[in-house]
């Protein structure tokens, strides 16, 4: 669900670069996450980010 293949990421970035875009967000799930992190309420974004970091440290 969350992971994308490297080929897909590169292909999308290449296509968007050819259109003159300098920023490429591959996949709808990452577009939603980037939008929420930019425009979402700061306390919620901070809490979600801290939860992700804690889970990564536990692995």
Domain ranges of the chain: 6-58
pTM above 0.85, yes or no: no
Percent of the chain with pLDDT over 90: 42
Whole-angstrom CA distances from 29 to 3, 36, 54, 58, 59 are 10, 11, 21, 24, 23
pLDDT digits (tens, 9 = 90+) for 15-27: 999 999 999 999 8
Cα separation of 23 and 18, whole Å? 12
Residue 33 · residue 16 · CB < 8 Å? no
Residue 37 · residue 45 · CB < 8 Å? yes
pLDDT band at 1 (very low <50, low <70, confident <90, very high): low
- The answer to whether residue 34 scores a pLDDT higher than 80 is yes
Find tokens 């692995």 and name the residue: 59
Report the chain's mean pLDDT, rounded to a whole number: 89
Percent of the chain with pLDDT over 70: 97
């Amino acid at each position: 669900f969350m992971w994308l293949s490297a080929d897909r990421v590169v292909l999308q970035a290449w296509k968007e670069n050819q259109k003159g875009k300098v920023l490429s967000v591959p996949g709808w799930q990452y577009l939603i996450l980037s939008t929420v992190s930019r425009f979402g309420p700061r306390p919620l974004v901070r809490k979600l980010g801290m939860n992700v970091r804690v889970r990564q440290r536990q692995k």
